[in-house]
Amino acid sequence: MTVLSQGGGYLLIVIFGVVMVGLTLLVSRDPRWKTTGAGFLVAGREVTWKVGATSIAASWIWAPALFVSVQKAYELGLPGIFWFTAPNILALVIFAWLAPRIREKIPGGYTLPDWIKYRLNDKKLHGIYLVPFLWYQVMAITVQIFVGGLMINFLTGIPLNAVMSLLLVIGLSYSLISGLRASVVTDFLQMIFIVVGLAITIPWVASVAGEGAISKGFGGLAGNTNIFDPKVAFSFGIVTSIGLIAGALSDQQYWQRSFAIKQDHLKKAFIFGGILFGVVPIVLSILGFLAANPDMGIAAPEGTGLPMIGIATVVNLLPQSAAIFFVVMLLAGLCSTLDSGLCAASSLYSIDMAKLSEAEREVLRKERIGLDLSKEDAKAREFLNERTTTRARIGMFGIAIVGLITAFIVQHLFSLDRLWWIFNGVASCFVVPTVLSVFWDRLSAKGAFYGILGSLVGMVFFIYGNWVQNDVITVFSAIFIVVISVVFCLAFKRETAWTG
């Protein structure tokens, strides 16, 4: 089903890209928004809680929030959307305690792997930590352009690979201008557009569907309205809860914002960001309930799978112009995570992976723990700023290429929801040592290493369970991943407390 011609689709994509780039260029001209070094990577550490909250929410509103949420409401009904939304909110709100804590320990930090290197003094463990953190950014890029490509392909007929390439170019173009500054600014605009879009389209869809149409679909295809249904809690709730919380903790996007938002604004930013995020999947679930109502006669589009069920509902019930508006709103949500992933990868590359001189390392060491810089250090800092920005842009290019290649490949292997579970499973291997590194001074490098190693055993079964779609294997392997990590971290604890 095509709602727009291919020419109209290309024009829509170009206009969207021009608006994003234009806004970034406009704001970046302000001298207060210096875009080198700390400005490029952590927005000068001056982001307020209001802007930070919208950026946190927008960057977490990615493909699963926009598409899997509707799918789970459609398939599983009320319990599906509950077990999707509640852990998502918790995954962000937990940073209201983590972010202020890590800023107390390293006020001038940039990345979580860099903190692990400083905290546990182990280069090998630091290298291991980079794997999931880079993996998560690759997936953030891959999933956004893949789902965005499916959406535009479904509506316009433009080839999937062409759309994915164009979306990546758009996100990369404005991110390269001013890094996290660009991401935060565009997040704010995109979040406003998302909220306005939902406020217009969802009530409109509900009014066209008629009174009682939504409630008739509350049970989803499963016909289940019990939010606390034990079967759904076991098969979907446990894995989703572990995966989402672990995913957020292994996502540099939120640690990057932890270092970018003003220290005394962090708690409010993450609490309000979590709440603001929660509004989106809850409101979008209405589309899933409507599609599950047999009287509506709505089916998933052929060749795209269930993640497109929400768009199919809008296309069936609203005029063409409204459907296009809705798609642009979804595109804004996808791009907010796309640019955030690029910025997160740039900080990982420029701080954790690039080769630094001894002078540069000394400046970063002093900055990390809040020591004053000497005149020589200040000069080195200016030089480092320029080099860091160059390295950050190189990192963006690199991760963009890897993400695009992965998107070309992964479309033939996994459905979106299974892919989402798998990379959250990878993150679960690191969640225990990450939390303990911030709150427990007895954590040792050996305990963290063996905990991760033991978790990888469970990860093998987790991937297998997802591949064969066996919920029992998937759930128990997800629990094992966390439990075995706790056991090893406690068994190999430090004899004395870490003092910094």
> Do residues 287 and 310 touch, judged by C-beta distance below 8 A?
yes
| pLDDT band of 466, cuts 50, 70, 90 | confident
Listed in sequence order, the residues at least 6 apart from 106 whose beta carbon sits closer than 8 Å to its beta carbon are: 115, 118, 368, 369
In the chain, the percentage of residues whose pLDDT exceeds 90 is 46
> In the predicted model, what is the mean pLDDT of residues 7-22?
87
Q: 79-93, 249-263, 290-304, 309-323 — which is least confidently predicted?
A: 290-304
3-state SS assignment for residue 471: helix
Instruction: Locate 92 and state its tokens.
Output: 């962000």
| pLDDT band of 394, cuts 50, 70, 90 | very high
Cα dihedral 199, 310, 17, 161 in deg (nearest 10): 180
> In the predicted model, what is the mean pLDDT of residues 100-109?
93
pLDDT confidence of residue 31? 57
For residue 426, the Cα-to-chain-centroid distance in whole angstroms is 14
Q: 63-72, 83-92, 216-225, 358-367 — which is least confidently predicted?
A: 358-367
| pLDDT band of 79, cuts 50, 70, 90 | very high
Please report, for residues 89, 337, 452, the alpha-carbon distance to residue 132 in angstroms, rounded to integers and kept in the order given: 22, 17, 11
pLDDT confidence of residue 331? 86
pLDDT confidence of residue 304? 60
- The half-sphere exposure of 12 on its side-chain side, counting CA atoms within 13 A, is 26
φ, ψ (nearest 5 deg) of residue 47: -75, 130
> Do residues 191 and 272 touch, judged by C-beta distance below 8 A?
no
pLDDT confidence of residue 412? 66
416: pLDDT strictly greater than 60? no
DSSP percent split of the chain into helix, strand, coil, nearest 5: 80, 0, 20
CB atoms closer than 10 angstroms to residue 216: 15
Cα dihedral 403, 253, 448, 102 in deg (nearest 10): 160
Q: Which of 135, 128, 137, 124 is nearest to 452 (CA)?
A: 128
96: pLDDT strictly greater than 60? yes
477: pLDDT strictly greater than 80? yes
φ, ψ (nearest 5 deg) of residue 261: -80, 145
DSSP string, 370-404: TPPP-HHHHHHHHHHHHHHHHHHHHHHHHHHHHHH
pLDDT confidence of residue 320? 82
306: pLDDT strictly greater than 60? no
* CATH superfamily of the domain spanning 6-415: Sodium/glucose cotransporter (1.20.1730.10)
Digit-coded pLDDT (tens) for 179-215: 888 888 888 888 888 999 899 999 999 999 988 899 9
3-state SS assignment for residue 66: helix
Instruction: Locate 183 and state its tokens.
Output: 């991401």
State the chain's mean pLDDT as an integer: 87
